Structure 1
Amino acid sequence: MVPSETELKRVDYFAVTFLVDNSIEWMTRLPPGFKHEMRQHLSEHPIIDPLTGVPFLDLENYCCGAHGFSALIETSVGEGTKHYTLFDTGPDSRSLVRNVESLHVPIEQIDRVILSHWHADHSGGLLSFLRLRQKAVAAAAHHGSSDIPQEITIDLHPSRPVARGIAPPPNHDTVIARLPADPTFAEIQNEGGTLDVNDVGHVVADGTVYVSGEIPRITDFEGGLLGGMRWTEGHWLPENHIMDERYALVDVLGKGLVIFTACSHAGVVNVVRDAVSKFSRPVYMVIGGLHLAGGELESRIAPTTEFLAEKLKPAPVYVLPMHCSGFAAKTALREALGEGCVPAGTGIKFEVIGDAEFDERLPMPIID
């Protein structure tokens, strides 16, 4: 039985670590609660240089960027168990594994992977991640750990394509390349994953994380993925709307909704509208790819920025345009939101403690 979306719990603790993103950002000043990768290495897992006695920048083993996305979500309610949920897995067999090891992620504690949609830059690291986790679970058991979740659930949309391709402008009718194949259901199971295949909204992580169903496409200027193609019955068919895409969110006490929008093929405005209509909570953070990169999508930047900065009231405290957002969209959002537009990237961590007392004073969201 699929849990109702109304069962979503408001969390007292929320953290996110960006394990794969296109960008690496070490230098820019970040708002409170955000921590650069380098600072985490030096303060939490320092390697001391024997010559000088100070921490050593072990660049050989720090994180790498890649064209894709993966984020580790941590949630807990009260004194309850902390849940570790992985949202997407990056584009390849190497980047996520390297970055998990670099950041000393407790991979054996992750008991669910949410795949936002069937595109290789989000699914490509899944099998290598599962293999690495199996080794970590075995090592933990060897050392006597008894609280390690043995099972890991892979949360998937049922409509897995045989192949997807790219048809560039101006006509979007000639496929110039296909994307790497997504993992099959059988491959996932062979690597120890338990399938949870569904296309409706549901809660996971003991009710602390919501995974959406189909995202309504209602915003007129958000036209999906131009040039998206799907191999069907021996030939390519246009597939702009990528209907298997889903978002995830967390509701933080005293803060509001933290929305993970993956690639925004549905349009980030459509994603935010759907989340607000379902939960009637203000938006605290919008995180992920906004899919506004490239000249043909520049016309979407201004109305998207206007929606997030002006039409959505209150505006999000933070917007983190990542992955496929593009430089032009990032600069427009920075101009509109100031430091509310955060230059997040691979290796950066954010954590926040909920505020139950303030929660009752949060305003109801309004969309003009």
Structure 2
Amino acid sequence: MIIKTLVENRSVSEDYETEHGLSMYIEVGERKILFDAGETDKFIKNAEKMGVKLEDVDMMILSHGHYDHGGGIKDFMEINSKALIYIHKEAFRAHGSIKEGKRKDSGIDISLMNNDRVRFVDEDLYFDDDLILFSHIKGSEMLPRGNNRLLMRVDEKWKQDDFHHEQNLLIKENDKRVLLVGCSHRGIVNILDQCDKHLDRPLTAVIGGFHLYDLDKNKEEDREFLNEVAEKLNINDIVYYTGHCTGYDQFEYLKDIMKSRIEYLATGTIIEL
């Protein structure tokens, strides 16, 4: 199994373009998967430099309905004529965020709803026995505080987003069990708890964002939150690769505690398992 980070906020090299977005390419067995498509077409330019042929991708999965993960879907579809796009049915709701007291749109292109390559997902979806796409996370422990500023429109009214449109991908290959997440808006601890229901052996790695960027490590309350996250994640033998919405300062704080159990997931990062 190989996972290549096609775009993220930072980069391992000046050769790659960066943005506030996330996109990863996965090869597992004969499958070629695109997990999220960044904010723009930068992931496509980086893919070329990394030797990834996006035209050969078999399927694309959108983790949730935000522009920094789905902004490049149309660009991807222009160079790939075959991959089906798996999007949660609630991802096409209007989404927004509150910044400086004003609401800003943060959703994906609604015209994609009418594309015949889009497949709407609601319940857990099994691709044979080796890929499981799951959502509707039930737990509410340690939810990201930044969720308080994130909105969805329901019946013409804006309310706090419940992130039922967030999907997570579990990959099984031989003795490896790998979980990919987008932003973990439902809380990485809750996602891990629900993932356990699909496991026949312990997870090997977790890859993606944990949405901790708005925590200030100089504030005691926020440090306590980060300490609790580190404690929860450190009780197993999983290796975590994280970036994007986790925040770099927050990653460094976790790194001081978790040591080699956590690594930064920058543009150009290649993970082989």
Match of 1:325 in 2: 246
Q: Is the 8 A contact 1:222 1:300 kept in 2?
A: no
* Residue 303 (1) aligns with residue 225 (2): no
* Residue 238 (1) aligns with residue 160 (2): yes
In 2, distance between residues paired with 1:223 and 1:156?
22
* Residue 265 (1) aligns with residue 165 (2): no
Alpha carbons of structure 1 residues 327 and 107: separation in structure 2 relative to 1, 3 Å: closer
| One-letter identity of the residue aligned with 1:334 | K
Alpha carbons of structure 1 residues 112 and 303: separation in structure 2 relative to 1, 3 Å: same
Q: Is the 8 A contact 1:127 1:188 kept in 2?
A: no
- Aligned residue among 253, 257, 264 for 1:343: 264
Secondary structure (helix, strand or coil) at the match of 1:295 reads coil
Match of 2:119 in 1: 196
Alpha carbons of structure 1 residues 195 and 348: separation in structure 2 relative to 1, 3 Å: same
Alpha carbons of structure 1 residues 110 and 213: separation in structure 2 relative to 1, 3 Å: same
- Aligned residue among 110, 125, 131 for 2:78: 131
Q: Deviations over 1:236-279 (max 9, x none)?
A: 2222x21110110112333x421111100010001111112331
> Aligned residues: percent identity?
23
In 2, distance between residues paired with 1:337 and 1:213?
27
* Residue 275 (1) aligns with residue 198 (2): no
Q: Is the 8 A contact 1:71 1:88 kept in 2?
A: yes
Deviation at 1:212, TM superposition (A): 0.7
Structure 1: 5+ residue runs without aligned partners? Answer: 1-13, 27-58, 77-81, 135-150, 353-368
Q: Which runs of 4+ in 1 moved over 6 A?
A: none
Match of 1:139 in 2: none
Aligned positions, number: 267
| One-letter identity of the residue aligned with 1:157 | H
Structure 2: 5+ residue runs without aligned partners? Answer: none
Q: Matches of residues 215-254 of structure 1 in structure 2 within 5 Å? A: 215-219=137-141, 221-222=142-143, 225-239=147-161, 241-254=162-175
| One-letter identity of the residue aligned with 1:86 | L
In 2, distance between residues paired with 1:214 and 1:331?
30
Match of 2:38 in 1: 90
| One-letter identity of the residue aligned with 1:88 | D
What's the RMSD between the two structures over aligned residues? Answer: 2.2
In 1, distance between residues paired with 2:94 and 2:54?
30
Deviation at 1:88, TM superposition (A): 0.6
Match of 1:21 in 2: 8
TM-score (norm 1): 0.67
Deviation at 1:223, TM superposition (A): 5.1
Deviation at 1:153, TM superposition (A): 0.8
- Aligned residue among 39, 48, 58 for 1:101: 48
Q: Is the 8 A contact 2:6 2:44 kept in 1?
A: no
